[in-house]
Each structure stands twice: as C-alpha cells, then as structure tokens.
Amino acid sequence: MIELQNVSYGYGGGDLLSGLSLKLAPGSFHFLTGPSGAGKTTFLKLCYMQLRATSGQVQVFGKDVSTMSRDDIAHNRSRIGVVHQDCNFLDHLSLTENVALPLAVTGRQVNMEDMKDLLQWVGLDKRKTFRPPELSGGERQRAALARAVIQSPDVILADEPTGNVDWEMSQRLLSLLVELNRMGKTIMIATHDLNLIRTAKKQVNARVLRISDKTLHLAGADL
Ligand SMILES: Nc1ncnc2c1ncn2[C@@H]1O[C@H](COP(=O)(O)OP(=O)(O)OP(=O)(O)O)[C@@H](O)[C@H]1O
C-alpha cells in the first residue's frame, strides 16, 4: 500500500527524519508514537504525498511518488483518507457540507442516503446542519473521521484523532477505526496515548512504531 525505502526529510536546516523504511501491508493496523516534534505529522504527510522526500523512495499503491504526475497524485490521494490533527473544517459550512468536501472539490455529487448512513455510523445524524464551531471536540473528531472515509479510501491515516477528547470518546473513535480495519482498511494512527494503544491491542493485531532519533523503530511488545 505505502512503502518507504531509506527516506529522509527536512524542512531546511538538516534532516528531521532520516533513513526511514517501512512497508504498510494491506489491512494492517499501526500506531505511530514518539515525542512531540519528533516528526509524526511530517511522516504522515510523506505517506499521503503532501510532502516529497528529500531522499529515498516513497511508493504509494505500487508507484514511485517522485515520478507521479499531478493527476496520479490526486487520484492516489483520494484512496487515502486523512484525519487531520486540527480537523481543518470550514466554519461557514454545515457538518454535512464539510464531510462532503472531498467529493465537492472533485465535482462529484453526494449520495444523500450514503451521507445519512455515514453520519449515523459516527453518531452525528442529529448534528448534520450544525456548523463546526457548534460541535464538541468529540463530535468534530467523529466528523473528521466521516470526512476521511467518504471516498471509501483503502488507507486511513489519523493524526492524533483522540487528542482533545475524553477517554470514553477516545474508545468510541478507536472502535470506529477498528471496525474500518475489520472491513479491510489499512490504518495508521499517530498518538501519544499509550492507554489507547493498550486498549487497541486487545481488539486488533496492531504494530507500534516509534519515531525517535530521526528514524522509525518498531516499539517493544511491552506496551
Ligand atoms: N512547515 C514547516 N516548516 C518548518 N518546520 C516545520 C514545518 N512543519 C513542522 N515543522 C517542524 O518539524 C518538527 C516536527 O513537526 P511534526 O509536526 O511533524 O512533529 P510531531 O511529532 O507530529 O509533533 P506533535 O506530537 O507535537 O504533533 C517540529 O520541530 C516542527 O516545528
């Protein structure tokens, strides 16, 4: 699905990430941990082609990102659903319109039955006309997950999806992600929450990756 070989990246002023290699197999479930500022968001951006590696090779769905055309990138990116750390909503649009944005920007119609099912799945059908500022933190995170899956992606990358919500809501979000994984989706979740990882490991065969010293390590089984 996504493969990195000896990848490095820096924003200028030296490498932030260096010598990263990883193969995300179809249907796998990974957590990504590491200290604040270690480069988790940056790593996810390399995976969803928002950033290009400074060196090394990134392959997405079997194709080398450095040789992809703009259209290829747009097409392959639509197969990756991203839950952004800060949700990235447009506050003047309703919840339904925000969730439908990935379709709207590519000129596609929303099937209202599908939208209804999706909002029910994340428990937000009664909030569909609300604007983002009128939603709670947990509601916003569930809306972000709904938006990430509206295009039926093969891979879901979630950046701190439980960052600002209580434990009960974290578990609810986790069970939605586990459900998606059981449907065959490949999942990667960046998180600082070790309790969330422990809980997930009881439900799913999850591997834990850690970024430290600029590179990726497989975390021990003691988590
Ligand atoms: N666009 C940018 N330009 C310059 N530096 C950046 C940019 N984005 C991130 N950085 C820097 O890169 C480093 C890694 O940032 P990143 O957001 O990837 O870390 P993180 O591990 O996700 O952190 P956190 O856990 O706090 O979200 C930080 O020092 C950050 O300041």
- Domain extents for the chain? 86-152
Count Cβ atoms within 10 A of the Cβ of residue 23 and give its class: 0-12 exposed, 13-18 middle, 19 or more buried.
exposed
Count Cβ neighbours within 10 Å for each residue of 168-192 and write b for 16 or more, e otherwise.
ebbbbbbebbbebbeeebbbbbbbe
Residue closest via CA to ligand 1's atom 17 equals: 41
Distance 36 CA to ligand 1 centre (A): 8
Ligand 1 proximity of 33 Cβ (cutoff 6 Å): no
* Per-residue pLDDT tens over the stretch 115-127: 999 999 999 999 9
Mean pLDDT rounded to a whole number for the chain: 92
Q: What is the dihedral of CA 193, 47, 137, 130, to 10 degrees?
A: -160
This prediction has a pTM of 0.93
Ligand 1 proximity of 38 Cβ (cutoff 6 Å): yes
Quick one: pLDDT at residue 220? 66
* Per-residue pLDDT tens over the stretch 1-24: 999 999 999 998 899 999 999 999
Quick one: pLDDT at residue 73? 94
Phi, psi of 96 (to 5 degrees): -60, -45
Count Cβ atoms within 10 A of the Cβ of residue 223 and give its class: 0-12 exposed, 13-18 middle, 19 or more buried.
middle
Over range 176-187, report the average pLDDT: 94
Ligand 1 proximity of 39 Cβ (cutoff 6 Å): yes
Residue closest via CA to ligand 1's atom 31 equals: 37
Quick one: pLDDT at residue 223? 55
Residue closest via CA to ligand 1's atom 28 equals: 37
Distance 42 CA to ligand 1 centre (A): 6
Over range 170-177, report the average pLDDT: 90
Distance 176 CA to ligand 1 centre (A): 27
Residue with tokens 């259209």: 71
ipTM given for this complex: 0.97
Residue closest via CA to ligand 1's atom 26 equals: 36
Over range 192-203, report the average pLDDT: 92
